[in-house]
Structure 1
């Protein structure tokens, strides 16, 4: 793929899909900015990226509940590299609550981190993406338009992300900027493991999830990063405004 010497921002890169995406871009010789909350993990990802072929890596420790932190990502990237070619909006959080137990503080937090901060970084990066004829790949979710029990707030925020993807794609297509998203179902990540108190609960959840998927297994972070790289590449040059569902066929049966 054609990412040699491109400037790529990956948010939420300290683990999971973001980590896999940063490593995948690194193999193609790009310059990276990676962000996250865990500095030790970011340093580890940075070292791995350089070993895999990244020309350079800027690390920005950022809490996406703080807009100042979000703004610093674009500022640090432009200060170092002078341009932006690809923005991967991956950072996000979840809480597991149904309607009856939903806390308004969690409503505010999820919309701040998952939606408002994504909108802000996209606003700031867009002039540079217009200049480079670059593109954006957002990480939405299967639950953006499908029911997942107790993922009420996540589904609401991811639906907003899918709409942001489509609207921004249409608005900026005349300026040469493509905007797409991936919508993964259950993916095995460290963050997902942290939702469970015991290994038994974790194993049961993933066993039950896999049984409901026609392909018979849950997804891997690297499968998501493969899709992100495809959407960011010239191989999908005639693709914009699309929300690519990665679900092993789950949406066909529910």
Structure 2
């Protein structure tokens, strides 16, 4: 699955799925643009990409900020002149129930990053992706398709459900230009995001291993492998699809 000289933007690339995805694309010869909020972590990912491929373009940005989103696209086009693949991976998590006092502040924060940021990034990138007949991959979650009784996650789950349907609509909009748009929905994955989330609610991350039929949770690299497949020409007939990779957790 060579991506030689393809230009790939990965948001949320400072750790976890985003970092693994950026490194995997670099291994396959891509010009990678790594986007994230944490400068130190981005520099580490940059070094890892450089070890296996080309030195990536680093853009420190918050996708919930419109000016930052504009800058990501401008800097990418300024350096590479094109965009072939956009991986909208940046996301935040929150714990809330409808009776929570802070429900609206949590809602606004999560939606601004998990949905609005994706919409605006896609809007600005799409004209460039049309030129290359590239594709877009949005990273969702199984929680956009199921409820989780033990931990209230109303806003996070709603953001991912909305992202799923946004993906389908954009897939229809851009199909006429030969652009594919798909979603990947992981279950629990060993990432900083998940670890921090479990620390917040004082629940060990290892608990999730007992809650999947396969008795395990995924590594970021497994999700990156699927992202690269969906972005490649091997998946040229696939658009508007949602790939669930959850070790069977939705079967429960």
Counterpart of 1:35 in structure 2 is 35
Q: Give the structure 2 partner of residue 227 of structure 1.
A: 226
Structure 1 residues 51 and 207: alpha-carbon distance in aligned structure 2, compared to 1, 3 A threshold: closer
Which residue of the partner structure matches residue 181 of structure 2? Answer: 179
Match of 1:215 in 2: 214
Q: Which moved more, 1:73-82 or 1:92-101?
A: 92-101
SS at match of 1:19: helix
Q: CA deviation at 1:184?
A: 0.6
What SS is found at the alignment partner of 2:185? Answer: strand
Any conservation in 1 of the 2:2–2:29 contact (CA below 8 Å)? no
**Which residue of the partner structure matches residue 192 of structure 1?**
194
The C-alpha deviation readout for 1:172-221, integer Å capped at 9, x for no partner, is 111100001110111111122122448x9453xx3332112111111111
| Deviates most, 73-82 or 185-194 | 185-194
* Contact map agreement 2:9 2:34 (CA 8 A) in 1: yes
* Per-residue deviation, 1:2: 2.5
The CA RMSD over aligned residues, in Å, is 1.4
Q: CA deviation at 1:47?
A: 1.2
2:4 equivalent in structure 1: 4
Query: 2:107 corresponds to which residue?
Result: 107
**1:163 corresponds to:** 165
1:121: which partner in 2? 121
Where does residue 152 of structure 2 map in the other structure?
A: 150
Q: For the Cα contact (< 8 Å) 2:130–2:179, is it kept in 1?
A: yes
**Separation in 2, partners of 1:37, 1:249:** 32
Query: Partner of 2:86: helix, strand, or coil?
Result: strand
Aligned partner of 2:49 in structure 1 is: 49
- After TM superposition, the score normalised by the length of structure 1 is 0.94
Match of 1:73 in 2: 72
**Taking structure 1 as reference, are residues 250 and 133 closer, same or farther at Cα in structure 2, changes over 3 Å only?**
same
Is this contact kept in 2: 1:2–1:234, CA < 8 A? Answer: no
Q: Which secondary structure state, in structure 2, belongs to the residue aligned with residue 63 of structure 1?
A: coil
Contact 2:190–2:219 (8 Å) recurs in 1: yes
Contact 2:136 2:181 in 1 (8 A): yes
* Gapped regions of structure 2 (runs ≥ 5): none
Secondary structure, aligned partner of 1:97: coil
CA distance in 2, matches of 1:122, 1:48: 27
**Structure 1 moving runs of 4+ over 4 Å:** none
SS of 1:138's equivalent in the other structure is strand
1:86 paired with 2:85, answer yes
Equivalenced residue count is 249
> Equivalent residue for 2:134?
134
Distance 1:202 1:61 in 2: 31
